[in-house]
Amino acid sequence: MKLRVIAVGKIKENYIQQGINEFITRLERHTDVEVTEAKAERIKGSLSSAEMEQVKEKEADRIIKQLNNRAYTIALDPHGKPMTSKGLAKSINNLQVQGYSSIEFIIGGTLGLHSKVREEADYVLTFSHMTFTHEMIRLILLEQVYRAFKIMKGEPYHH
């Protein structure tokens, strides 16, 4: 199984990047993992609703160009469906059984995802109804995927 995270923007906080690197290293013992960054639009000052949609659409076009049409795609969005850690493990396992060799997780930029990315995705997932930065979500996603692989292998994971 190959896992790919397509995320808008770069990680600016060093402590978040260190956490991401740690979970990538841990995940590589279980699966192939790759993080691809799509260029974020520059946001200058306050934007109108129409300008926000334009920013999200430009970022969406960059994301969609990078998608592998053979991969199962999961978009992370606050309006998605929640899932437990065990549920994520079961879903990844089921996708493997169904013959998928690749899963792509999509994380939007500062303003979130444009609707066309959500429509393109096979599944729209939320981790919480709370708001997190797109940087934090990348770290949380990698931790949860690592946890899922530990669960699938029947190994304990408590830290």
Which residues sit in the known binding site for S-adenosyl-L-methionine?
76, 108, 127-132
Are 152 and 92 in contact by the 8 Å Cβ rule? The answer is yes
- The string of DSSP letters for 86-109 reads HHHHHHHHHHHHTT--EEEEEE-B
Looking at CATH, the fold of the domain delimited by 2-152 is given as Alpha/beta knot (3.40.1280)
User: How does pLDDT run along the chain (159 residues), one tens digit per residue?
Assistant: 999 999 999 999 999 999 999 999 999 999 999 999 999 999 988 999 999 999 999 999 999 999 998 999 999 999 999 999 999 999 999 999 999 999 999 999 999 999 999 999 999 999 988 889 999 999 999 999 999 999 999 988 765
Q: If DSSP codes are grouped into helix, strand and coil, which group holds residue 128?
A: coil
Which residues sit in the known binding site?
76, 108, 127-132
Report CA Rg, the chain: 15
Backbone angles phi, psi at 49, to 5 degrees: -60, -40
Q: If DSSP codes are grouped into helix, strand and coil, which group holds residue 28?
A: coil
